[in-house]
Amino acid sequence: MTITAAADGSALGNPGPAGWAWYVNDDCWRAGGWPHGTNNQGELMAVLDLFRATAHVPQEDLHILCDSQYVINCITKWMPGWKRKGWRKADGKPVLNVDLLKDIDRELVGRKYTFEWVRGHAGHDLNEAADERARAVALAYQQGIAARSGPGFGRADAPGASAAGADSDETGEPDFFSEPEPDLFSQPEPDFFSEPEPDLFSELDADAFAAPGSDPSPEQTVEALERELLRPDVRSDIGRIGVLLHPEFMEIGSSGRVWTRDAMMMSLEESPGSPMELELIGAERIGADTILLTYRSHSRDGAALRSSVWVLDGGQWRLRFHQGTPEA
């Protein structure tokens, strides 16, 4: 069976607030973006995320509709030569968007795929749907509002979904994402994962907080998951981070910058940082399926007061919101 999808990107200002999207049908699509990016980055990210989102059905052919000759040529013509030259162009200059291209190159292994160029803004239904969603994300970043990320790929009724796909994350979120966005202290490294000291509890899990012979409480489980997120080996594991962060995750950094799930995951993949010590202040139920966790973190840069909101999503506790404030 062939999965046919359109992939597209959008940037307001180019560079500027940017979005990307791939689209199969109204029940099978995904979108994301960054506060600052280019059209080409958006187009490449849409293709990369499509490959990652369909990694659980590698036997299916991918037919990718793309209105960017640049993206098609990068992947089908130029990459082999760039790789032989150490990811440099014929003039010796570094290849643009090399991190995205390297990630795409890894995802191509073992996959069957074809690209088809379609003219943009010419009434092609799938291309128009992908473009609409990519532009909506770019506009959302421009206006500072939330954007729809889509159901993703993996539902039992999605094209090409198999038994393996039906057993995957019920939210339909692909397991692996990354968005090329720098981190939060200099264009800074995400505040949540600032550069910390070793965590005395880094190897503890939920069971460690439960009384012998009993299941951990939701509050204990959430605390253990928060501690897990403070470990660099976990933060660099995109698959695990994809499970722990809610699809609509948001962080407000100490600088006032807003981080989305996609931007956070890309930043962590590039720079997971070092461990952080957690001093629990409280774990409070603020709803039937919502827990507010407050704690003090300790690092070489000092202490910070932090709050995290965890929600129960499809039987899995996932981090929905985080904010940290350096302690005077």
Query: Does one domain contain both 13 and 132?
Result: yes
Instruction: State the residue range of the domain holding 271.
Output: 191-326
Query: In sequence order, what are the beta bridge partners of 30?
Result: 22
Cα–Cα distance for residue pair 79/88, rounded to 1 Å: 10
Flag whether 18 is in a domain: yes
Query: Does one domain contain both 133 and 54?
Result: yes
Cα–Cα distance for residue pair 3/24, rounded to 1 Å: 8
Cα–Cα distance for residue pair 81/103, rounded to 1 Å: 16
The pLDDT score that the predictor gives to residue 121 is 83
Q: Is 221 helix (H, G, I), strand (E, B) or coil?
A: helix
Query: Does one domain contain both 147 and 210?
Result: no
Global confidence as pTM: 0.52
Q: Is 170 helix (H, G, I), strand (E, B) or coil?
A: coil
Higher pLDDT, 155 or 285: 285
The pLDDT score that the predictor gives to residue 326 is 86
Q: Return mean pLDDT, the chain.
A: 79
Cα–Cα distance for residue pair 99/78, rounded to 1 Å: 15
Cα–Cα distance for residue pair 54/319, rounded to 1 Å: 24
Residues 6+ apart with CB under 8 A from 24: 3, 4, 5, 126, 153, 158, 159
Query: Does one domain contain both 129 and 199?
Result: no
Q: Is 272 helix (H, G, I), strand (E, B) or coil?
A: coil
Q: What are phi and psi of 225, to 5 degrees?
A: -65, -40
Cα–Cα distance for residue pair 123/190, rounded to 1 Å: 40
> What CATH number has the domain bearing residue 48?
3.30.420.10
The pLDDT score that the predictor gives to residue 13 is 84
- Judged against a pLDDT cut of 80, whether residue 317 lies above it is answered with yes
Last residue within a domain, chosen from 127, 150, 166: 166
Question: pLDDT digits over 161-197, tens only?
Answer: 332 232 333 333 222 223 333 332 233 344 444 433 3
The pLDDT score that the predictor gives to residue 304 is 86
Query: Does one domain contain both 206 and 154?
Result: no
> What CATH number has the domain bearing residue 229?
3.10.450.50
Flag whether 175 is in a domain: no
Rounded to the nearest angstrom, the gap between the alpha carbon of residue 180 and the centroid of all alpha carbons in its chain is 10
Higher pLDDT, 85 or 300: 85
Flag whether 275 is in a domain: yes
Task: Give the number of domains in the chain.
Answer: 2
Higher pLDDT, 92 or 215: 92
Q: Catalytic residue numbers?
A: 8-9, 43, 67, 121, 131
Cα–Cα distance for residue pair 181/298, rounded to 1 Å: 25
